[in-house]
């Protein structure tokens, strides 16, 4: 059996940009074993002062929009500009095995073969918002390994997409043209969160429909307030096949970074995200401790059948269990 790396070996490998060790470290932080969680926590803490220098970009979109194709083309553009790129591709989890279903690494073959890039598919598990429960830690490890741009590809558009927004600097929403009423396929809340919208597959016969969709989305965005950061999202056209529009998207992101750092929002936003991470972690650890408690487990086992039969109010049982847990 292969010996697990110790803390010093993990740190050395990550600092040197070793992609194999980085992958092993992300596996460590994703582990549910208590011993692994303790080591993972030590590892992230030991590297935390070496993080924060990258730009974190969340990428989401409707099914069929071509997120992986876009990310590969966009990632190659960034590599050509001298950037080191990490992609955290969050796949939907199998309900049986809890593992990833789609396997984005196989759909970004060119990018994954480049030593300046790192692609990590992770199962979303029970986490909301189309992200892994350990995406934040994975981002920090990638930053400590020297990656300049972190791209977080989410499962897709959903009601809890705020989970992505709460851990990235820039939120990019990919859209399709010619799919019926352009404004019906996506929830208003996600459009309000987006820092930029991109109409993908804007090439060939789809150029004219893409231009019409652009106008429709621009008209919709005019109805939204600028918000505390005073940023007006733009709608742009792009083709992952021809590469058109990709350079302009990166320029837009760089302009955003410059403006947000200039007005102080960049750091205040990251500070708020750290506190949000703390709140999430407290809830996670409390949940773990609660479900592992022997008295809680016994009462759950005794009374679950009554809940199933409709004889016991789930809310009442939940409250009783919490009282039992905290009164010890």
Domain spans of the chain, in order of start:
51-263, 277-326
Q: How confident is the model at residue 89 (pLDDT cuts 50, 70, 90)?
A: confident
* pLDDT recorded at residue 319: 96
- Does residue 144 or residue 281 have the better pLDDT? 144
**Which backbone phi and psi does 65 adopt, to 5 degrees?**
-75, -15
Closest CA to 44 of 19, 14, 3, 5: 14
CATH architecture of 51-263: 3-Layer(aba) Sandwich (3.40)
Q: How confident is the model at residue 272 (pLDDT cuts 50, 70, 90)?
A: very high
* pLDDT recorded at residue 230: 86
* pLDDT recorded at residue 1: 55
- Whether 295 shows a pLDDT value over 90: the answer reads yes
* pLDDT recorded at residue 195: 94
- For the stretch 18-43, pLDDT in tens is 999 999 999 999 888 888 999 999 99
Closest CA to 263 of 300, 213, 224, 227: 227
- For the stretch 176-231, pLDDT in tens is 886 544 444 455 677 888 999 999 999 999 999 999 989 988 888 888 877 788 89
DSSP letter, residue 204? G
* pLDDT recorded at residue 98: 44
* pLDDT recorded at residue 260: 97
* pLDDT recorded at residue 294: 95
pTM, to two decimals:
0.88
Kindly report the average pLDDT of the chain as a whole number: 86
DSSP letters for 32-88: --HHHHHHHHHHHHHHGGG---SEEEEEEE-TTS-HHHHHHHHHHHHHHTT--EEEE
- Whether 15 shows a pLDDT value over 70: the answer reads yes
């Amino acid at each position: 059996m292969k010996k697990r790396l110790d803390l010093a070996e993990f740190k050395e490998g990550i600092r040197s940009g070793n992609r194999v060790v980085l992958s092993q470290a992300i596996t460590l932080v994703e582990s549910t074993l208590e011993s692994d969680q303790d080591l993972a926590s030590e590892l992230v803490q030991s590297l935390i002062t070496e993080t924060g220098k990258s730009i974190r970009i969340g990428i989401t979109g409707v099914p069929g929009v071509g997120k992986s194709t876009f990310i590969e083309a966009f990632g190659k553009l960034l590599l050509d500009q001298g950037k080191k790129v990490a992609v955290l591709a969050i796949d939907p989890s199998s309900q049986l095995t809890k593992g990833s279903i789609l396997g984005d690494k196989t759909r970004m073959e060119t990018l994954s073969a480049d030593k300046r890039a790192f692609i990590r598919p992770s199962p979303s598990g029970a986490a909301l918002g189309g992200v892994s429960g350990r995406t934040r830690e994975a981002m920090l490890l990638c930053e400590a390994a020297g990656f300049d741009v972190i791209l977080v590809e989410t499962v897709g558009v959903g009601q809890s997409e705020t989970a992505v927004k709460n851990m990235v600097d820039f939120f990019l929403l990919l859209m399709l043209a010619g799919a019926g009423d352009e404004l019906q396929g996506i929830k208003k809340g996600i459009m309000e969160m987006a820092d930029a919208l991109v109409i993908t597959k804007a090439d060939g016969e789809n150029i004219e429909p893409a231009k019409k969709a652009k106008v429709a989305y621009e008209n919709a965005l005019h109805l939204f307030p600028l918000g505390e950061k005073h940023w007006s999202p733009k709608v742009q056209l792009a083709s992952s096949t021809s590469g058109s529009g990709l350079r302009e998207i990166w320029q837009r992101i760089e302009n955003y970074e410059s403006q947000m750092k200039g007005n102080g929002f960049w750091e205040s936003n990251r500070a708020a995200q750290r506190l949000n991470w703390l709140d999430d972690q407290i809830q996670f650890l409390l949940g773990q401790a609660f479900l592992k408690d022997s008295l809680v487990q016994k009462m759950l086992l005794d009374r679950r059948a009554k809940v199933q039969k409709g004889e016991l109010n789930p809310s009442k049982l939940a409250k009783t269990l919490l009282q039992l847990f905290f009164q010890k």
